[in-house]
Amino acid sequence: MRHLVLIALLASVTLACRDSASPTDPAFSSEASDQAHLDLRVERAALAAAGNALSGAIAQNGVTAGLDNALTDDAIFLSPRVNLLQGRTAVATFLSTDALAPSALSWSIIAADVSNDGTEGFTWGEGSSTIDIGTGPTPRPSFFLIYWQRADAGDWQVRAFVYNAGGPQVTPIPAGFGTPDTKHRRNFPNTDIAAQAVQILGVDAAFSAASVSNGSGPAFEQYAAPNAIAIGGGEFVFGPTDIGAAFTGGPNDVVSWVPLHSGAAASGDLGFSVGEAVFVIEGAGTFYSKYLTIWQKQNTGEWRFVADEGNSRPAPAT
């Protein structure tokens, strides 16, 4: 789960991207020039502010009204113990009528990043969620992963949202894993958004296949970016090695998933996937979940995940 006006800065972007397109290509020159004028540090700060403002709107107006005003029409909402919801109308109906819907959501943004063109991004939030787990509404420390898109008017809107109990995070995010402080990132010109979204689905499906054939731990380590953060065991896990260890199960456990939805920024460097997972744990049974994964294209051109969180869903009807 946005990201430039000096000749020197433009030159640095050109050097970083010259293996992707010729500097004499008009399309390349136009894209590079536009993105050379963006300062990603400013864009990230704006996204973090929007994330905190959304939490404030929910506190003031309630979950249904506060969140509904921020959703894209095709937004995906992942709430524990229910199936994934897609579409602003479906989310609003769930929040206003379902006994399993959260009655309160509150967070502070602790990390944010944006795509290279400043049009999409993601945030990690830490706070609390209140749902009725059978004994009345119960506030629980929670983590929030949100994928955002920028509307034509410039406002940040929620494209995909997942939260789950965990934490609280008791230590600062380690250096290199929080909000980046870089002003620019590599440009990937001439991106076909639909093709990139399909590519992300394929990478996520290959990730699942690797989990089945090689084990979930090695697969998570292989597909994690160097700065990846995942939720494992109710807490943040940082980097490929620790993420792989956190997702390592028994020798006969099988973890698999099916990616169902995806999207990508026009700059071709950031996107997301949403899907449904099945955990078959020897001696414990079968568990069903859903997830939001944020993907970032590395300098090598490979997609690797930088953020991942999920929560439970009901067993499929038989």
pLDDT, tens digit, 9 for 90 and up, residues 243-268:
999 999 999 999 999 999 999 999 99
> Looking at residue 35, what is its pLDDT?
57
Reported as a single tens digit per residue, the pLDDT across 203-235 is 999 999 999 999 999 999 999 999 999 999 889
Q: Would you say residue 201 lies in a domain? A: yes
Q: How far apart, in whole angstroms, are the C-alpha atoms of residue 55 and residue 110?
A: 13
Q: Would you say residue 221 lies in a domain? A: yes
Q: Would you say residue 236 lies in a domain? A: yes
Q: What does pTM read for this prediction?
A: 0.88
**At residue 116, what is the residue type?**
N
Q: How far apart, in whole angstroms, are the C-alpha atoms of residue 271 and residue 254?
A: 26
Of all residues in the chain, the percent with pLDDT exceeding 70 is 88
163: pLDDT strictly greater than 50: yes
DSSP-derived 3-state class of residue 29: helix
Q: Would you say residue 126 lies in a domain? A: no
More confident residue, 96 or 4: 96
> Looking at residue 102, what is its pLDDT?
97
Q: Can you give the residue range of the structural domain that contains 307?
A: 193-312
Of all residues in the chain, the percent with pLDDT exceeding 90 is 77
Q: Would you say residue 119 lies in a domain? A: no
Look at the chain and report how many structural domains it folds into: 1
Q: Would you say residue 18 lies in a domain? A: no
Question: Residue 302: pLDDT band by 50, 70, 90 thresholds?
Answer: very high
32: pLDDT strictly greater than 70: no
6: pLDDT strictly greater than 90: no
Q: Would you say residue 248 lies in a domain? A: yes
Domain CATH number, residue 204:
3.10.450.50
Other C-beta atoms closer than 10 Å to the C-beta of 157 total 18
Q: Would you say residue 7 lies in a domain? A: no
